[in-house]
């Protein structure tokens, strides 16, 4: 009997905010794996904001999907068949392009082994994976905080934001998170020990930034862009560094949204804005992973996961992510 594979494809390219109709579940037989390949049973999917870029045909760092393609994204799985000398059956692996499906065929060059004794395996797409490395290197190498700096992070309870704030605290900074809703803000201050949190849905961001950052903002780790970012840019300190990790507020616009021109603030403050992709730090991931793992063991880094059960719920969960409905790192549990 041929094993069938359930896959979620991009039926139609989203225009603006994605809708359920843009996605479709498809079943097809799993092909034979070729020499050198492995067959992976997907256990966890990682849903990340950057994936919206893949669904667009505009220039982005993520390669564009075409209509009919399986949605590509990070995942953790178990090797169930192997024709590679480097992988054994039952190895746990993580890959950035495994995608929204029950089974994936992969080339060893596109996956890496995960050590299940280190931490729960889904952390391989979270705190010990791409989001963790994004927070670690984006904050430390792009934001370049020094002790005593005031660090502001947007989407602060998300997969990356929650880690950025905690790493900044370890580095002796004052940390202000911006998130949507009281529950998220309370989590930031009470559980993650952020110095302050601003609820952009219910509070005046300008006023609260003035209150919490009286000496200006030294480092801004931006996950959102848009009006929240405008407010932060207006309160930068001299020599501020803005690390642009994502602009989720802009991903679903059909027309560019005009906003604050930032060059005057950059000039007056001799400030720097730098966009980065985590891949530029690939040669150093091992350093970041070791430190993040140690900080977790020491209780210095906590992480919150938002787990949705079932592959078929990935599209609705992804749409929720685009709307800020997730609370913590968004994961789909596909199988045990």
Contact set with a second copy (CB under 8 A):
59-61, 222, 225-226, 229, 244-247, 250, 256-277, 280
Nearer to a second copy, 116 or 259 (CB): 259
To a second copy, the closest distance from the beta carbon of 261 in angstroms equals 4
To a second copy, the closest distance from the beta carbon of 237 in angstroms equals 11
Residue-by-residue DSSP string for 7-56: EEEE-S---SS--GGGEEEEEEEPPPPPTT-EEEEEEEEE--TTHHHHTS
Separation of alpha carbons 89 and 83, rounded Å = 10
To a second copy, the closest distance from the beta carbon of 243 in angstroms equals 10
Nearer to a second copy, 53 or 108 (CB): 53
Nearer to a second copy, 30 or 244 (CB): 244
Torsion over CA of 184, 188, 191 and 196, rounded to 10 degrees? -130
Nearer to a second copy, 98 or 321 (CB): 321
To a second copy, the closest distance from the beta carbon of 270 in angstroms equals 5
Nearer to a second copy, 30 or 247 (CB): 247
Burial of 333 (0-12, 13-18, 19+ CB in 10 A): middle
Separation of alpha carbons 204 and 198, rounded Å = 8
To a second copy, the closest distance from the beta carbon of 145 in angstroms equals 17
Nearer to a second copy, 101 or 235 (CB): 235
In the beta sheet, which residues pair with residue 92? 78
What sign results for the dihedral spanned by CA atoms 214, 220, 222, 225? positive
256 near 171, Cβ under 8 Å?
no
In the beta sheet, which residues pair with residue 199? 179
- Strand 196-199 to 174-179 pairing: parallel
User: For the chain, how many residues are written?
Assistant: 336
Cβ neighbours, 10 Å, residue 85: 8
Nearer to a second copy, 106 or 278 (CB): 278
To a second copy, the closest distance from the beta carbon of 272 in angstroms equals 4
Tokens representing 307? 């787990």
188 near 123, Cβ under 8 Å?
no
To a second copy, the closest distance from the beta carbon of 105 in angstroms equals 30
Closest of 120, 118, 172 to residue 149, by C-alpha: 172
Nearer to a second copy, 100 or 220 (CB): 220
To a second copy, the closest distance from the beta carbon of 269 in angstroms equals 7
To a second copy, the closest distance from the beta carbon of 192 in angstroms equals 25
Burial of 30 (0-12, 13-18, 19+ CB in 10 A): middle
Separation of alpha carbons 254 and 258, rounded Å = 12
Nearer to a second copy, 2 or 283 (CB): 283
């Amino acid at each position: 009997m041929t094993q069938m594979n359930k896959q979620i494809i991009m039926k139609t390219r989203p225009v603006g905010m994605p809708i359920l109709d843009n996605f479709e579940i498809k079943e097809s037989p799993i092909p034979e794996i070729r020499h050198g390949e492995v067959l992976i049973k997907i256990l966890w999917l990682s849903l990340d904001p950057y994936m919206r870029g893949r669904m667009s045909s505009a220039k982005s760092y993520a390669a564009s999907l075409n209509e009919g393609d399986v949605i590509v994204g990070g995942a953790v799985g178990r090797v169930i068949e192997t024709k590679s000398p480097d992988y054994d059956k039952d190895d746990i692996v993580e890959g950035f392009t495994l995608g929204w499906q029950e089974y994936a065929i992969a080339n060893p060059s596109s996956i890496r082994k995960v050590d299940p004794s280190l931490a729960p395996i889904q952390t391989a797409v979270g705190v010990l994976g791409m989001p963790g490395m994004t927070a670690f290197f984006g904050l430390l190498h792009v934001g370049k905080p020094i002790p005593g700096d005031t660090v502001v992070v947007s989407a602060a309870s998300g997969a990356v934001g929650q880690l950025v704030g905690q790493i900044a605290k370890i580095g002796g900074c004052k940390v202000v998170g911006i998130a949507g809703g009281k529950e998220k803000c309370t989590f930031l201050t009470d559980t993650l020990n952020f110095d302050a949190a601003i609820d952009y849905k219910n509070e005046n961001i300008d006023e609260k930034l003035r209150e919490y950052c009286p000496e200006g903002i030294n480092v801004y780790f931006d996950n959102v862009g848009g009006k929240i970012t405008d407010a932060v840019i207006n309160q930068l300190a001299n020599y501020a560094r803005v690390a642009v990790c994502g602009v989720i507020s802009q991903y679903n616009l059909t027309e560019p949204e005009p906003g604050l021109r930032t060059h005057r603030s950059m000039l007056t403050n001799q400030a720097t804005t730098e966009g980065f992709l985590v891949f530029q730090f690939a040669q150093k991931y091992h350093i970041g992973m070791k430190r993040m793992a140690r900080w977790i063991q020491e209780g210095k880094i906590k992480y919150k996961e938002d787990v949705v059960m079932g592959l078929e719920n990935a599209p609705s969960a992804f749409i929720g992510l685009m709307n800020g409905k997730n609370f913590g790192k968004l994961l789909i549990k596909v199988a045990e």
